[in-house]
Amino acid sequence: MIKVGDTLPQVTFSLRENGENSNPTTAGLFTDKKVVLFAVPGAFTPTCSNTHLPGYITLADKLAEKGIDNIVCLSVNDAFVMEAWGKSHNAQHITMLADGGAEFTQAIGMAKDTGTFGGVRSGRYSMLVENGVVKLLNVEAPGKFEVSDAQTMLDSL
């Protein structure tokens, strides 16, 4: 599993913004930037929709005041789902990034197989990434939501 001090793996993601598709890379998203990345098991799921994403939306301005260039929400969903989920929460200040094939999630050791419930998904975590290097990592225990929330990240900065 990825740890503090590791460089993020180079992968290509899917992103849909304003009705347009793009394929940003790890380098494009994280090089020369200070980024908060948080990952959720699935868009539109209860904890993700009711607490995790809304917390980052609420604190986006305060995170920016601490020098954060971008906030990225990642899930093993497709780009259309991520765009729709972001729109449903007015998450215009969050990059709703799709790791549809779980390439990134598997490469950092955060994949979990939920079987017929949803297949391969991401574990829940947050990280602070500076110029592509992990500076802070908060990984949740299975079924928990205690350390990857926006307030914990803000307090850590």
Query: Does residue 77 contact residue 43 with C-beta atoms inside 8 Å?
Result: yes
Catalytic residue (choose from 15, 48, 97, 110) = 48
Query: Does residue 98 contact residue 13 with C-beta atoms inside 8 Å?
Result: yes
Q: Which residues of 55-94 are buried (b: 16+ CB within 10 A; e: fewer)?
A: bbbebbeebeeeebebbbbbbbbbbebbbbbbeebebeeb
Greatest pairwise CA separation for the chain in angstroms: 42
Cα–Cα nearest to 16, from 80, 107, 103, 74: 80
Active site residue 73: no
Contacts of 88 (CB under 8 A, 6+ apart): 44
Catalytic amino acids?
Answer: 48
